């Protein structure tokens, strides 16, 4: 169990974490204060005797769907030197134990706590429940002294969850794999107490109601909970990715009262993040600040930034994908907003909006603060390969409309050697305005609507409004910016989309009751028209290459000179992500349509499959994509667990797409012999390029550049109109990658940001708004 984020989270306790609230267990009448994770639907609850009693115990429970193979809690919110309680079903019984860990390894059984199962502990066909009394559990001895729960104050308990069963289900000391998910929530422990008689009754196995009390001192009082009131907003923006950040900033700049909701938490140091490498301790740098740590996003044992209810890589934190991607930042060419790529004609003049974006966030192909390029051997070798194929070198973003037979240094949106993006620019200006409110760790379930009119959003945070509902002002609007998977899911849960998806929501016990009446369902092609770049990795070796230990050491033990240089001046190798060079070429397919191939060159390799012996310190990768002009389409939807996923993958559905990509790869490797010392090792000479592509693992084709699931266009064929308003609604909009109808020319976040600039201008220009 890797609950490493407690320190990072605690700085936000009480203001942005989802909060524990009181509830009464229907099986035993016990009133607990707890939290239900909206993704896995597991409830974690606690109740304490009066503070004045100085009792070293509490009553707790875990209620989980049968899919939860095990779950656990850390009441104090950390893993190390903490009381850890875990439980799992074994047949019709619950097996549970108290655990303790002194390092981030398998926790062992803890002596001292006394666990007593209470009535209502059970296992049935759909759920399991553990109700327990935990004695010797408020204070416990550690190597450094004593740890104590803040029973008269505020804290951030942690929960853990796993879909992988324990190794020996019948044993209380069973080992188990690391949890598959975890999280925190705010908890005012001082509220979670009952009077002595009530607690004694429940602790002895009694049932029935009692009188909850607030016991912040030695005096016991009956709570007087004020009713939760909700603040209405002119605009509620759901999702703090690039689309949502730009929309929220420009709307607040226009004087509108704006609420921005993000389901995740902070990332960079400037936003309150603290999760960084040990070698950067004290430097006010997190994993997300340091560009050179990009490759570790996919290998970290504690990847809290990935959305846990999307089955592809998707970022759930401030900045969304722009906080965890390689930050390749391409200024959009004309084709990115042309009618030939599916855009309404009113979008054709993108330049004023792209200029606004560039003014806020310039690109750079020399991210190191000293203006030098580092670790460029792979770029130099690839350039030799491309030169003999008629390519020419450009500064790519100075010539955005030139994308045939061109290459240049990779361009990024890093700022002064650190991750920049919309978080460091648009968010920075928005949060300084008094009419802008930002809430994180808020999960939006659905929009609340009466027919075509949206009146607010429903969230998991009841501190923001009754039943978690946040209202709009009378002329207010909602903008969904939750991404190509998140925005469709919210629409499905709001009764908008194909009937098969909305009926899945209807069948869900928690989500179904929040749907509008079936007569108000809106049938739109939500989830269709989905594109993503198919990508194929080619791995080479060359004696000049420095593979940089394949980026394996940059988190724990980077080269000392490089880490020292970066800490001193944000310069050197670690001031850039792994890409070093990019190139494009246009191809005409057998159907007469033009498709563009893109390539990205970087030291190292994600995987190598070869019969050749090779020097691992000399490997580099060219990833070959197909972008604008691609004709294959897929579909995004949800399953019965409300997990967003591709229902139909979008790669190579049209065989001409595959044929063009194969042609492009064959052209790339055709002149290998012209570059002395260059060897292609994946694929090697045991297979052809055709067979290599045809047998490529479909899961590895994913570039995570998903667009189109809420495509813009005309009524009957699209989800949003030319102003990004959802068809058949009055005041619901989508501003994120999901409205883009065709793959952009390059990695999409530049196109997304330009799109957002234009979209918010159109929204502000519509009559009838706030």
Residues annotated as catalytic are 705
Q: Where do we find the tokens 């005096």? A: 219
Measuring CA to CA, how many Å separate 727 from each of 246, 251, 458, 495, 637? Answer: 23, 22, 21, 13, 19
3-state helix, strand, coil in the chain (%, to 5): 25, 25, 50
The two tokens of residue 523 are 């049938």
Q: Are 741 and 712 in contact (CB under 8 A)?
A: yes
What is the spatial distance between Cα 637 and Cα 721, in angstroms, rounded to a whole number?
21
Cβ of 338: how many Cβ atoms within 10 Å?
16
Tell me the two tokens of residue 83: 């009381």
How far apart CA 636 and CA 706 sit, in angstroms, is 10
Packing angle between helix 749-765 and helix 242-253, nearest 10 degrees?
30
Contact between 522 and 496 (Cβ < 8 Å): yes
Task: List the structure tokens of 447.
Answer: 């929009």
Residues 443, 39: Cα–Cα separation, whole Å: 9
> Omega of the bond prior to 558 within 30 degrees of 0, cis?
no
Strands (E), 225-364: 233-238, 258-262
Nearest to 609 by CA among 703, 696, 704: 696
Q: What are phi and psi of 281, to 5 degrees?
A: -60, 135
Tokens 């989309």 found at: 497
Alpha carbon distance 522, 536 (integer Å): 39
Longest dimension (CA), the chain: 87
Report the length, in residues, of the chain.
770
Count of other CB atoms within 10 angstroms of residue 415:
17
DSSP 571: -
Residue 542, C-beta contacts closer than 8 angstroms, at least 6 positions apart:
377, 378, 381, 618, 620, 675, 677, 678, 679
Judging by DSSP bridges, how do beta strands 469-480 and 732-734 pair with one another? parallel
Inter-residue contact 628 to 335 (CB < 8 Å):
yes
**Residue 423 backbone class (left: φ over 0; alpha: ψ -120 to 50; beta: rest):** alpha
DSSP 3-28: -TTHHHHHTTTTTTS-B-EEEE-TTT
Spatial distance between the Cα atoms of 65 and 49, rounded to a whole number of angstroms: 29
Buried-exposed string 212-250: b where 16+ CB fall within 10 A, e elsewhere:
bbbbbeeebeeeeeeeeeeebbbbbbbbbbbbbbbbbbb
Neighbour tally for 442: CB within 10 Å: 24
667's enclosing H/E stretch is helix 655-669
C-alpha closest to that of 134 among 52, 57, 192: 57
Give yes or no for a contact between 490 and 460, defined as CB atoms under 8 angstroms apart.
Answer: no
Residues 6+ away with beta carbon under 8 Å from 716: none
């Amino acid at each position: 169990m890797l609950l490493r984020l407690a320190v990072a989270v605690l700085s936000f306790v009480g203001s942005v974490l989802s909060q524990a609230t009181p509830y009464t267990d229907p099986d035993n009448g016990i009133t607990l204060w707890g939290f239900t994770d909206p993704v896995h639907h597991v409830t974690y609850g606690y109740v304490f005797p009066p503070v004045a009693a100085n009792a070293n115990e509490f009553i707790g429970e875990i209620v989980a769907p049968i899919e939860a193979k095990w779950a656990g809690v850390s009441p104090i919110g950390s893993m190390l030197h903490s009381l850890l309680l875990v439980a799992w079903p074994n047949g019709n019984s619950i097996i549970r134990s108290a655990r303790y860990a002194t390092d981030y390894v398998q926790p062992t059984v803890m002596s001292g706590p006394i666990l007593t199962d209470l009535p209502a502990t059970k296992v049935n066909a759909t759920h399991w429940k553990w109700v327990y009394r935990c004695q010797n559990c408020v204070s416990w001895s550690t190597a450094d002294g004593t740890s104590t729960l803040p029973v008269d104050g505020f804290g951030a308990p942690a929960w853990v969850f796993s879909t992988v069963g324990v190794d020996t289900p019948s044993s209380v000391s069973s080992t188990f794999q690391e949890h598959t998910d975890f999280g925190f929530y705010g908890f005012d422990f001082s509220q979670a107490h009952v009077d002595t008689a009530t607690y004694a009754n429940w602790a002895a196995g009694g049932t029935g109601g009692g009188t909850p009390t607030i016991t912040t001192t030695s005096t016991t009082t009956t709570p007087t909970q004020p009713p939760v009131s909700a603040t209405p907003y002119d605009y509620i923006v759901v999702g703090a990715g690039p689309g949502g950040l730009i929309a929220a900033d420009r709307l607040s700049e226009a004087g509108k009262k704006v609420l921005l909701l993000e389901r995740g938490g902070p990332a960079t140091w400037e936003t309150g993040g603290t999760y960084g490498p040990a070698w950067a301790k004290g430097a006010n740098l997190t994993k997300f600040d340091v560009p050179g740590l990009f490759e570790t996003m996919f290998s970290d044992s504690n990847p809290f930034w990935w959305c846990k209810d999307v089955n592809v890589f998707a970022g759930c934190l401030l900045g969304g994908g722009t906080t965890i991607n390689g930050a390749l930042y391409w200024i959009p060419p004309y084709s990115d907003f042309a009618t030939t790529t599916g855009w309404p004609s009113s979008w054709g003049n993108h330049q004023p909006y792209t200029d606004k974006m560039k003014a806020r966030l310039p690109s750079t192909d020399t991210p190191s603060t000293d203006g030098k390029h580092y670790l460029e051997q792979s770029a130099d070798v690839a350039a030799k390969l491309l030169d003999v194929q008629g390519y020419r070198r450009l500064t790519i973003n100075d010539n955005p409309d030139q994308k045939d037979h061109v290459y240049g240094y990779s361009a990024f949106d890093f700022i002064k050697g650190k991750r920049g993006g919309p978080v460091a620019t648009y968010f920075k200006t928005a949060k300084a305005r008094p009419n802008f409110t930002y809430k994180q760790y808020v999960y939006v379930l659905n929009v609340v609507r009466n027919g075509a009119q949206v009146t607010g959003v429903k969230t998991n945070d009841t501190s923001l409004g009754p039943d978690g509902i946040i209202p709009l002002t009378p002329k207010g609007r909602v903008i969904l910016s939750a991404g190509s998977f998140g925005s469709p899911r919210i629409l499905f849960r709001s009764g908008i989309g194909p009937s098969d998806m909305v009926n899945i929501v209807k069948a869900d016990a928690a989500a179904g009751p929040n749907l509008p009446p079936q007569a108000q369902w809106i049938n739109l092609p939500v989830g269709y028209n989905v594109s993503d770049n198919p990508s194929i990795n080619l791995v080479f070796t060359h004696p000049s290459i420095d593979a940089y230990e394949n980026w394996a050491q940059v988190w724990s033990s980077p080269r000392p000179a490089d880490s020292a240089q970066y800490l001193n001046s944000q310069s050197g190798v670690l001031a850039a992500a792994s890409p070093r060079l990019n190139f494009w070429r246009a191809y005409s397919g057998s159907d007469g349509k033009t498709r563009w191939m893109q390539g990205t060159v970087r030291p190292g390799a994600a995987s190598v499959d070869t019969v050749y012996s090779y020097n691992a310190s000399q490997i580099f990768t060219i990833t070959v994509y197909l972008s604008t002009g691609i004709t294959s389409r897929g579909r995004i939807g949800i399953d019965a667990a409300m997990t967003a996923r591709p229902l139909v993958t979008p790669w190579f559905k049209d065989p001409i797409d595959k044929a063009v990509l194969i042609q492009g790869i064959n052209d790339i490797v055709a002149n290998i012999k012209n570059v002395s010392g260059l060897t292609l090792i994946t694929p090697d000479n045991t297979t052809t390029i055709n067979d290599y592509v045809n047998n490529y693992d479909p899961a590895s084709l994913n570039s995570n550049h998903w667009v189109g699931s809420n495509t813009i266009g005309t009524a009957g064929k699209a989800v949003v109109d030319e102003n990004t308003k959802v068809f058949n609604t009055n005041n619901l909009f989508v501003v994120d990658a999901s409205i883009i109808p065709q793959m952009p020319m390059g990695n999409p976040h530049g196109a997304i940001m330009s799109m957002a600039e234009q979209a918010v201008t159109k929204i502000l220009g519509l009559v009838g708004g706030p």
